[in-house]
Amino acid sequence: MRNPRFLALTTLEKVENGAFIQDAFDPKGLKEADRNLAETIVYGTVQNKLFLDYVIHRFVKKPENLDQNIRQLLRMALYQMHFLDRVPDHAIVNETVKMAKVISNVGASGLVNGVLRQVIREKDEAFKVHIDDEVRRLAVTYSFPEEWVRYFQRLLKDETEAFLKSTFDPAPLTLRPVSVSAEALIGELEEDGFACESIKPRPAVVVKHPRGLFETEAYKEGRFYVQDAASQAVVSLFTTDKEVQAMDLCAAPGGKSFQMAEIFAHVDAFDASAERLVRMEENIRRLGYKNIATAVRDGKTPLPKKKYDRILVDAPCTGLGLIRRKPEIKYRVGYDDVLQLARVQRLLLENAYDALNDGGELVYSTCSVTVEENEGVLHSFLSDHPECRLKEKGTRYWPHRHGTDGFTMACIVRKDA
C-alpha cells in the first residue's frame, strides 16, 4: 500500500529485523511530500525508540505482551505527536487506529485508540522523563542503551550529554571537490542555485538543500564526491609523493582511494566485498581516475608479494561515529562486537604492514570512536613492532565537537632497516 505511514511501518519492521534504514526504505511511487514524511517518521522513530518505549510503558498495562507491529504503530504515533507539528493529534489517532485495524484486530485497534487518547489528555506530563538515576535518565532521554551511556561517560566525562545529543543532529551532505578548488566548485553550484558553505577541514563543502544535486553537470562530469569532512582528513596524514605505489586494503566505496590517487603514482585498491567494488568502479569512471586498480581480496589472508610505500587500512568497525546517519547502530552494537572487531582490525593491520616498505607510512583509521578499535589496536601493534613508530596521531573527530562524523586516525612509519 503506497501510503507514507504504511511505508514507514514496513520499513521499521525490516529495520527491527536487522536491515539498515537506507537499504530498507523504498519510497518508489510516493509523492515527494509523502516520501519526506515517511522518511522523517522512520528516522525519528528509530532515533527515539527507547524514549518512545518509556512513554508507551507508562500507558500500557502489560507492555511485554504488545504485538511488535502495534508497538511500532504506537511509537510512530507518539513520535509524530511529540516531535512533529505537521499533523493535528486527533488526525494522528484516527490514522493510527485505521492502520491497527488493517494489520491486526479490533482489540488491538481499541488499545491503540485508548492509549493515544489518554496520552493526549495528559500531554503536558506524558512525554516528561522522571528518572533520578543519571545513566538511566540519559539512556531514556537520548535513546541509548545504558551500556553505551556508561562507556561514553568513562570516555567523555562531562561532554557525554553533548555527544549523545549531537547524534540527533541532521548530518550534512558534504562534498570533496575533485580536480577543482572548493571556491570553483562552490561558484559552479551556486550558479545552479545551491547554497553551499566551505567548512573545516578544507576543502570540504557542505550543500544546504541538495535536492537535484546529482543531476548537475558538476556531478556528471566528476567534479565532486560525497564524503564527510572527517573522512576527508584521513589521507592528509600521509606525506605526498607522486613517485610511490600505494595500497588501500579496505577501499570501497572508494573516497579515500580517490584522494590517494591524487597524491601517489598508483593505488591498488582491495576490498572483501565485490558488490561494494562495483560501486567504487562506477565512481572511478565518473571521476576519471586512471591510476587505481581494484581487486576483491580478503585482507585477513596473506597478500601478494608486492611492496608499497603508503598503505591505508580504513578498517571495518562498529560505526559508532556514524549514529547521526545510521541511528539503528546504537541498538545493534554491543561491547562484544567492539572486541571482536578489534581482533579483525589488528589482523588487517598486521597483514597490511607485511606489505609496507622500510621507511613507508601506514595510516590506520575507523569511523568509530571507541578506544578498543583505535588506540587499543595501535598500541597492541606498536608493542609487537618496536621497529615501527607513531608518526602522527590525527584529530579524533566527534559530532558534538566538530559537527562531522566521528572518526579516529593515526599514521605510523616503518623505520628504515
Ligand X SMILES: C[S@@+](CC[C@H](N)C(=O)[O-])C[C@H]1O[C@@H](n2cnc3c(N)ncnc32)[C@H](O)[C@@H]1O
Residue positions forming the annotated binding site: 250-256, 271, 298, 314
Q: 45 vs 245, which CB is nearer to ligand X?
A: 245
Annotated binding-site members for S-adenosyl-L-methionine? 250-256, 271, 298, 314
Q: In degrees rounded to 5, what are phi and psi of residue 83?
A: -110, -20
Stretch touching ligand X by CB under 6 A, among 174-182, 206-214, 243-251, 385-393: 243-251
Q: Of residues 196, 317, 367, 388, which has the active-site annotation? A: 367
Burial 61-88 (b: 16+ CB within 10 A, else e): eeeeebeebbbbbbbbbbbbbbbeeeee
411 is catalytic: no
User: Residue 312 or residue 388: which is nearer to ligand X going by CB?
Assistant: 312
Q: Which is nearer to ligand X, 133 or 282 (CB)?
A: 282
- The H-or-E segment that residue 246 falls in is strand 241-248
Residues 167-226 that bind ligand X (CB under 6 A): none
Q: Report H helices in 237-361.
A: 255-263, 274-287, 329-332, 335-354
Q: Which of 53, 314, 328, 373 binds ligand X (CB under 6 A)?
A: 314
Residue of the chain from 95, 161, 228, 271 that contacts ligand X (CB under 6 A)? 271
Residue of 5, 75, 176, 256 interacting with ligand X (CB under 6 A): 256
Site for ligand X in 377-396 (CB under 6 A): none
Nearest in space to 248 (alpha carbons), one of 289, 283, 297, 175 = 297
Q: Which is nearer to ligand X, 59 or 397 (CB)?
A: 397
49 CB burial (10 A radius; 0-12, 13-18, 19+): buried
Q: Which of 24, 97, 149, 250 binds ligand X (CB under 6 A)?
A: 250
Torsion, Cα of 50, 55, 61, 64 (10° steps): -10
One residue of 27, 222, 254, 394 binding ligand X per CB under 6 A: 254
Q: How far apart are CA 284 and CA 278, in angstroms?
A: 10
Catalytic residues: 367
Residues that bind ligand X (CB under 6 A): 249-256, 270-273, 276, 298-300, 314, 316, 367
